Amino acid sequence: MPVRSLLSRVVLAALGACLVLFIVGPLLRLLFFASPESLGAALRDTELRDSIVLTVFTASLATFIAALFGVPLAYLLARRNFPGRRLVQGLIELPVVVPHPVAGIALLLFLGRRSEVGGALAHVGLEFVSHVPGIVAAMLFVSAPILVSGAREAFRGVDPQLERVARTLGDTGWGAFRRVTLPLAGRGVLAGSILAWSRSVSEFGSIVILTYNPKVASIYIFDRFTAYGLQAAVPAAVILLLVALTVLVVVRVLQPEERR
């Protein structure tokens, strides 16, 4: 192998390795920082358990709502060419670029009791600020774009001609979607949903403004850290990290490695 080519490979590999180490290093440090005893104690802590249960529940609810409204939208964005499609696509991705505390403040203004929408919803018993629905709303806001774009790409990966074939074989539009497109895009849609779910689990910036109490896991960790210091925050942080790693593995397994 020519020396120059070898040298360039070494440089490229070294640059990549630095970044990988920078990501893996802190996480490994965190994992081994907590003693098994402290982890056990943390798991017996009802406040932490409650916050994890709350986090899983609210993230699941937010993902369900995002899927209910987002999967049809993703299908439209992938398949139909309607006026304003690009605009809708841009709008749905807006939460990705909005800083999360900004999103929290915007949601607070929109859903607070003093706004028309928040007031009307409070009137029918749906309170957001400092209530569980506030957590779900914040999670939905930040995670819906992830679900929509994941599902959109999954639908784009299915040849639209397959639906046409199904139609000429006597299937209705809905039947073709249900029997052909959905089974073929299913894994991708599921992967997008899981990514959206884990995005919800990790959300902090907007929830902290909308609903500090009851505490989701990320806020619980922040609370422990500010009130009792590093040692108190670590076990909870490790548990949340393990949850995230599990999700990542599941997504990797679901996503097809090569797509032809």
Which residues contact another protein by CB under 8 A? 159, 161-162, 164-173, 175, 179-180, 183-184
Q: Is the peptide bond before 214 cis (omega within 30 degrees of 0)?
A: yes
Nearest approach in angstroms of CB 63 to another protein is: 25
Q: CA-to-CA distance for 128 and 244, rounded, in angstroms? A: 26
Q: CA-to-CA distance for 164 and 160, rounded, in angstroms? A: 7
Question: Which of 127, 121, 92, 145 is CA-nearest to residue 210?
Answer: 127
- Cα dihedral sign for 124, 129, 135, 136? positive
Helices 182-202, 217-228: axis angle to 10 degrees equals 20
Nearest approach in angstroms of CB 172 to another protein is: 6
Q: CA-to-CA distance for 212 and 229, rounded, in angstroms? A: 19
Name which of 5 and 168 has its Cβ closer to another protein: 168
Nearest approach in angstroms of CB 173 to another protein is: 8
Name which of 15 and 165 has its Cβ closer to another protein: 165
Name which of 162 and 249 has its Cβ closer to another protein: 162
Q: Which amino acid is at 208?
A: V
Nearest approach in angstroms of CB 151 to another protein is: 17
Helices 116-123, 100-111: axis angle to 10 degrees equals 60
Name which of 79 and 179 has its Cβ closer to another protein: 179
Name which of 131 and 167 has its Cβ closer to another protein: 167
Nearest approach in angstroms of CB 67 to another protein is: 21
